[in-house]
Amino acid sequence: MKKYGFNFQWIYVWDEGKSPLKPDLKALDFLVETGFNFVRIPTDYRFWIKNFDYFNPDESVFEYIDLYLEECKKRNIHMCLNIHRGPGYCINRNDIERDNLWLDRVAQDGFVYQWQVFARRYKGVPSKYLSFDLLNEPPDIGQYGMTREIHASLIKRTVEAIRQIDPEREIVIDGLGGGNIAMPELANIGVIHSGRGYQPMALTHYEATWWNGYKGLPVPTYPDLVWDGKVWNKDTIREYYKPWRDVEEKGVEVHIGEFGCFNKTPNDVALRWFKDLLSLYKEFKWGYSLWNFKGPFGIIEHGRDGAKYEDYYGYKVDRELLDLLIENRV
């Protein structure tokens, strides 16, 4: 079954002394009502690890994850558990990590250990309900010392460690370069490859101040936005995904773990882009997960200029975007 849904940030935004959020049951009911069957849960390991003591997790925190899983199972929703910030690496504010996941053995050992803990805790939960997405958006090749070889070695080691405990667990790996670069070198290890849908960044991340490339960009148009040496339209996006389709031809399942558009892009431009992107996912028969459900990238009260909201199931929903998401499921 193809998986379609949203990212939920229930254990994502960490602060000292802060607990994870409880599951949003109303949101999960909305997914059921509208036919979605997938929830991705990006996590920050600092919720259960203090002072880089990777091998002594506070497992009481995992009771929140247990609850997320329980509520998803009740609704026949698949939950994908992701480490967004792990020992020695995060795509956001990597500088606050003590160690380097790509170069330091202690971080690599700590990373594998986190997944061994999860594998033991959730052993026996059918993969129909739970998958492990090992690491959100590894860096560019060469960044922080990461190479394809170092990444592949760590991923293979982690997959083997999980399978020694829970051989049937469904496992997901994100593309390199922030989820953009396909990984043919890992086509033969029996895992799902997770891509991204944020291209062109000059459209999806217009005025997104956390992205280094946001400064000086004009208000985006679409189609035929000129950026990064290309004229962006449906054909350009199709070409962007060619390396992923080549990996798919090797027998790999591809899923889009994140995609979306920040709310500073004009709504008519965003919708034209969404229409092209989602039609390609339907053509490729790829599942997908919007970043996020409620917020500046979501379908609920995202705040994009020109959007029309409809009161639906207790939310103010961008109905045009919701309809596009529904129409392009396989």
Q: Report the alpha-carbon distance of residue 89 to residue 109 in Å, rounded.
A: 13
Q: Report the pLDDT value the prediction gives residue 1, as an integer from 0 to 100.
A: 84
Q: What is the crossing angle of helices 105-121 and 148-165, to 10°?
A: 30
Is residue 277 helix, strand or coil? helix
Beta-strand pair 315-318/309-312: antiparallel
At 145, list the tokens: 């010392």
* Verdict on whether the full-model pTM lies above 0.75: yes
Say if residue 316 is exposed, middle or buried (CB neighbours under 10 Å; 0-12, 13-18, 19+). middle
- List all residues 6 or more positions away from 198 whose beta carbon is below 8 Å from its beta carbon: 180, 204, 205, 258, 259, 260
Q: Are 284 and 246 in contact (CB under 8 A)?
A: no
- Give 274's contacts (C-beta < 8 A, 6+ positions apart): 261, 321, 324
State how far the Cα of 37 lies from the Cα of 32, in Å rounded to an integer. Answer: 7
Q: Are 76 and 45 in contact (CB under 8 A)?
A: no
Tell me how far apart the alpha carbons of residues 45 and 57 are, in angstroms, rounded to a whole number: 9
Quick one: which of 284, 290, 273 has its CA closest to 326? 290
In this prediction, residue 14 carries a pLDDT of 92
Contact call for residues 117 and 161 (beta carbons, < 8 A): no
Backbone φ and ψ of 154, nearest 5°: -65, -40
pLDDT score at 37: 98
Q: Which amino acid is at 35?
A: G
Q: Answer positive or negative: Cα dihedral of 108, 112, 117, 121.
A: positive
Give me the average pLDDT of each 10-residue run along the chain (330 residues): 95 91 97 98 98 97 98 98 98 96 98 98 98 98 98 98 98 98 98 98 97 94 97 98 98 98 97 98 98 95 92 94 96
What is the pLDDT, as a whole number, of residue 118? 98
Q: Which contiguous run of DSSP H or E holds residue 156? A: helix 148-165
Other residues' Cβ atoms within 10 Å of the Cβ of residue 81: 22
138 within 8 A of 132, measured Cβ to Cβ: no
The answer to whether the beta carbons of residues 176 and 137 sit under 8 Å apart is no
